[in-house]
Amino acid sequence: MSNDEHPMFDDDRHGGAQEEEEEEQADEPMDDAPSKKSKPRQKGLEEEDEEEDEEEDEEDEEEDTGRKSKKRPKHRHKKRDALSRFLDIEAEVSEDEEEEEDEEEYGADNFITHGETDDVDDELTRRNHALLDSSRHFEEEDKSPEEIAKAVARRHRDRAVPYTGDMNEIPQRLLMPSVHDASLWQVRVKPGRERDIVFSLMRKAIDVEYTARPLNILSAFQRDSLPGMIYVEARSAKQVQQACLGLVGVYPSRGIQLVPIEEMASLLQIKKQEMTLTPGTWVRIRRGKYAGDLAQVVDLTENGEDIGLRLIPRIDMNPRDDAALDPAAKKRKKPTAGPGTMRPPQRLFNYEEILKVWGRKHVTKRNQSFVFQNDTYTDGFLEKDFKFNALIVDDVNPTLDEITQFTRRQDGGEDNVVNLSAIAEASRKAAIAVLQPGDHVEVFEGEQSGVHGVVDEINGDVVTLTAQGLDLDGQKMEIPARGVRKRFKPGDHVKVMAGTNTDETGLVVSVADNVVTFVSDMSMQEISVFSKDLREAAEVGTGSNTVGNYELYDLVQLDAQTVGVIFKIERDTFRVLDQNGQVRLVQPHQISMRRDSTRAIATDSEGHELRVNDNVKEVDGEGRKGRVLHTHQSFFAFLHNRDIAENGGVFVTRTRSLASLAPKSNVLKTAGADLSKMNPALIAPTGGMVGSGAMGRGPRDRHIGATVTVIKGPHKSYVGTIKDTNGQIARVELRTGNRIIMIDKEKLRRRLPNGKLEPLDQPLRIPNQMGPPTSNSYASAGSFGGRTPFNMGKTPNPYNVDGRTPAWNASSRTPNPYADGGRTPAWNATSRTPNPYATGDGSRTPVWTVHGRTPNPYATGANAGAPSTGGGWGGATPGRNAGWQTPARTAATSSTTTTTTTTSGWGAPADGWNTPGRPASSGWDTGSSWSAPTPAAAATPGVHLGQTPAAPTPAAVSQTPDGVWSLPIAHTAATPGVSASGYIPSRGSDEGVDPNWLFDPVLVNYLPRLKIIIKGTNTAQYLDGDYENRTGRILAAQENPAEFEQTARVRFDDDGEERSIIARYIIPQTASKILEDVLIIGGTHKGRAMVVRERPEHDDRDHNPLIVVGAKHEFSIENVPSKWVVPLGE
């Protein structure tokens, strides 16, 4: 290093004097300029003299080798610059600290100054000695020490060190770190704080320099390209740790890692790709009002910091108020122009407009430009200087649109032609990326310019292509990728791969350099795009079916009166067929909303309901067929048929002229069906209880929910439930395997609860006739499907049906529907019929009345029974409850019931009532008895409508006690006869719990959980009655041979005692809590674990009140006599 410097130094020495003179001159004006400065300088000269004196002797001694060898150390303390005539003075003022610092800084180059000072001292000191000596003392005394110190400090600063280009001659490779150098340590810091931390380290190093514990780091640095870390140069990690101590944002705990010596240099060599800007380059503005806007570089300052840009102005043409016009208010206004405010649109500067809006005094004309709000506008463009940092120079990708804006000059000047080369330049990088083997390209640059061919291979930036045409045909050549562009010729069918026209396809009509113009297949408009964004493509298409929030075939509201269906989507417009059959071209913003017609119902020509997705055909006119896309106001239907070419197959017609292609059943045709759906009394209760959605909507097909058996095909004999139907195809959820299969309805048979099968389409009883009773009550139940479709499907058993009917809930949970019933249309309807219930309207206990009037034994029965059960049923109909209860009791015996009923002359077709006449005694177990409730039919809407004298349902109830169970469904809300109380009687004494219930195999799994109680031991003196009323759990129950007493092992709850107890004394505890887990030990649900949903108010076991229970994880409700309900423990 020093070797290198010596020659340099020599050079300096020669030129030294010269330079010093220059320096002196340069210094002088600087020093003199402030008048203050002359003083210190004079003083300085004096001081120098003094020092000079002191040293004179020594200097003489060593004259030839630099006279001031002794002085040199002193000089070292000060700046030994070329003009160090004042050096000695400074020495006298002698601020030690500063000197020391100086020494550190300049110690290395003393020899240079040595030579220089020689001359200076000689010349200056002698010249000034005499002059200044005399005045020196005075002035010295005048000054305060502070002033002196200041003056000296200033002098120090003023000294310019000769620039020597230290170490410039050493090649960088020789500066590589060696093992003797300190190491670099990587320290994690908070991202974004790197620079602050480096600065903090520097300040800290200075602060603690002279303390007991100075920082031992040599340097620290940060690179912008290495976020989250800084590098500290130090001898050990400990020193780094120490240096970082107490700095916020440094994470030394994340490890201080040694940078391998070979990587040290590269850390300082990292270089981010820099884009150099030249006039004409396209850039984007990073932030502010023009954020994202394209701009063109007009000029650059030399250091590349300020860049003059030309861009399209965004002038606010609606200044908010007069205050905004007032320049004084500008400051106030600014903060309000936050991100929330709209930025003005891009618009070329128009002098007249600005004058109009802003007034004359805001715009001034200067040469060809206008000055407005401190910005210069030329040719309509804003010309403004931006900082380099405020620009985006990478990935600018200007679009053709943007660029053409720049060429569209107000005055139509010469620049009208698109500077394609500039654009090409801007998008060149991207162009390389979009090339693919097989692309047809042409070379537009370099020696091979003009050659075209097919790309074989792309290797980095080099494209290998097979030339075509001319004499080069077939030759392979390698061309830099930036020199080629895709080649298209008129007639090519192309597709746009990028940009705003993405996915547009069309035929090329012209090619100009790299701009290709094609006619869009969709809009038939000419579109110009860069060839780089194109590909040859055979496809024609719209690409997407969605623009904004709207999709193809959406029903959209265009204005208050008009709706339409989107039948075609173009790039950013829709073609919409409105309800008047007119086609409109609509922009997304013209659509006020999308409409949902999935729930809309309309009626077709036959009065069928018409829904979205129904397949229909026109009954008049052209007889077009189609699928209903939407209905509007129950009047217009938008249909779609792929076979119709016009309007994409969408056409509009009136719903009244449509007929369903798939014939619907008669049932739904009837007005009755529709009306019943509209009857709030019918719908309301259902809504509250079972998942209301399904109920409210009603079935599309009455088969939905039916329990069916597959009779053909691979699934033959499988049982399932119809979940959905579509024409002849039904989706059937199989009981087994939890699968849903699609199957032809032909292969299905309705499965009756008794296991019998019947064709699905067997005509159902029409509600408004009391219809010939079928042998099967379910058929009739089916007609209620509307209200309880899945009940039937899932549980083909009467209890279920009962249990799930809304009526149950309604009656037990809500104010008795019957009470309400009086107000429903149904009631009114019935009241119009010659139905005794009509009278019931007024009084809430029609039954009473009715019974009272008829010579019906039930009437009396009712009287008798009333007291016992009346409590169970809502205040509104206690009488009814009672009334039904009694007959039920007798029901087992009574076939007379039937007759009574009929004779009672309810007006119902007698046969309807007669048929069910099944012996009630058949009991719960016989399926046939369940079919009894034919009268249920009476409960159908027809009843409510009062179209028939169907009302006498109660008669039916009384007639067949078993039937009572099924009745409630039917009657849900409307018929008083449905009184739930009917059930109570129905359980005759013949229905008991099997004394050996404990040993029923279906209960085995639950045995240990059964909560039981010991009863009856007192009277039997069994075990002295000690265990009477003790509760416990069954440990084991084994059925013994018939001749032995049946026993079970019980553990008692209170003391944990275990012993065998005779089974007949073991009685289930009473389920008393809502949500209690229970096991059903009798009836159809035997063996099922359920949950108590609702408890009867009255839990007299002997009367077998009902407990409403539901399966644990389903929302279904069953009614089970409480004696069959055994609570389960954990």
Residue 201 or 706 having the CB closest to another protein: 201
Residues of span 231-270 touching another protein by CB under 8 A? 233, 264-265, 268-270
The CB-of-81 to another protein minimum distance in angstroms stands at 8
- CA dist., res. 774 & res. 577, Å (int): 51
- Determine if 414 is a binding residue for another protein (CB under 8 A): no
Token representation of residue 1125: 């309900």
The CB-of-381 to another protein minimum distance in angstroms stands at 26
Binder to another protein among 118, 181, 758, 1028 (CB under 8 A)? 181
Residues of span 517-546 touching another protein by CB under 8 A? none
Residue 11 or 58 having the CB closest to another protein: 11
Interacting residues of 829 by C-beta distance below 8 A, sequence separation 6+: 944, 945, 946, 947
Residues of span 42-81 touching another protein by CB under 8 A? 81
Residue 67 or 78 having the CB closest to another protein: 78
Residue 200 or 953 having the CB closest to another protein: 200
Residues of span 145-174 touching another protein by CB under 8 A? 157, 160-173
Residue 176 or 585 having the CB closest to another protein: 176
Residue 183 or 811 having the CB closest to another protein: 183
Span from 10-18, 424-432, 1016-1024, 1072-1080 in contact with another protein (CB under 8 A):
10-18
Comparing C-alpha atoms, which of 220, 224, 226, 218 is closest to residue 200?
220
3-state secondary structure 781-810: HHCCCCCCHHHHHHCCCHHHHHHHCHHHHH
The residue type found at 167 is M
CA 405 from chain centre, in angstroms, equals 37
Residue 29 or 1001 having the CB closest to another protein: 29
The CB-of-93 to another protein minimum distance in angstroms stands at 18
Q: Is 926 exposed, middle or buried (0-12, 13-18, 19+ CB in 10 A)?
A: middle
Interacting residues of 864 by C-beta distance below 8 A, sequence separation 6+: 886
Q: What is the per-residue binding string for another protein in 190-229, x denoting contact by CB under 8 A?
A: -----xx-xxxxxx-xx--------x-xxxxxxxxx----
CB atoms within 10 A of CB 987: 26
Alpha helices in 375-523 (DSSP H): 400-407, 420-426, 428-434
- Determine if 97 is a binding residue for another protein (CB under 8 A): no
- Determine if 272 is a binding residue for another protein (CB under 8 A): yes
Cα angle, residue 540 at apex, residues 537 and 544 outer, rounded to 5°:
110
The CB-of-113 to another protein minimum distance in angstroms stands at 12
Number of residues counted as binding another protein (CB under 8 A): 71
Span from 177-185, 702-710, 892-900, 1079-1087 in contact with another protein (CB under 8 A):
177-185
Measure the CA dihedral 1060/1061/1063/1069, to 10°: -110
Residue 394 or 1114 having the CB closest to another protein: 394
Span from 102-110, 247-255, 627-635, 648-656 in contact with another protein (CB under 8 A):
102-110
The answer to whether the CB of 868 falls within 8 A of the CB of 813 is: no
Give the sheet arrangement for strand 505-512, strand by strand.
526-530, 515-520, 505-512, 493-496, 534-536
Q: What is the per-residue binding string for another protein in 379-408, x denoting contact by CB under 8 A?
A: --------xxx-------------------
Token representation of residue 1000: 């029923």
- Determine if 184 is a binding residue for another protein (CB under 8 A): yes
Residue 109 or 733 having the CB closest to another protein: 109
The CB-of-198 to another protein minimum distance in angstroms stands at 5
Residue with tokens 């399904």: 694
- Determine if 31 is a binding residue for another protein (CB under 8 A): no
The residue type found at 157 is R
Q: Catalogue the long-range contacts made by 283-287 (C-beta closer than 8 Å, 24 or more residues apart).
A: 283/307, 283/309, 283/391, 283/392, 283/393, 283/396, 284/391, 284/392, 284/396, 285/309, 285/311, 285/386, 285/390, 285/391, 285/392, 286/389, 286/390, 286/391, 286/392, 287/390
The residue type found at 702 is R
Binder to another protein among 305, 411, 478, 994 (CB under 8 A)? 305
The answer to whether the CB of 301 falls within 8 A of the CB of 309 is: no
The CB-of-119 to another protein minimum distance in angstroms stands at 17
Residues of span 321-360 touching another protein by CB under 8 A? none
* Cα-trace Rg, the chain: 52
The CB-of-157 to another protein minimum distance in angstroms stands at 5
Start-to-end CA distance of the chain, whole Å, equals 92
Span from 53-61, 101-109, 671-679, 708-716 in contact with another protein (CB under 8 A):
101-109
Span from 104-112, 354-362, 912-920, 1076-1084 in contact with another protein (CB under 8 A):
104-112
Residue 179 or 328 having the CB closest to another protein: 179
Binder to another protein among 146, 213, 271, 471 (CB under 8 A)? 271
- Determine if 8 is a binding residue for another protein (CB under 8 A): yes
- Determine if 116 is a binding residue for another protein (CB under 8 A): no
- Determine if 363 is a binding residue for another protein (CB under 8 A): no
Residue 215 or 1071 having the CB closest to another protein: 215
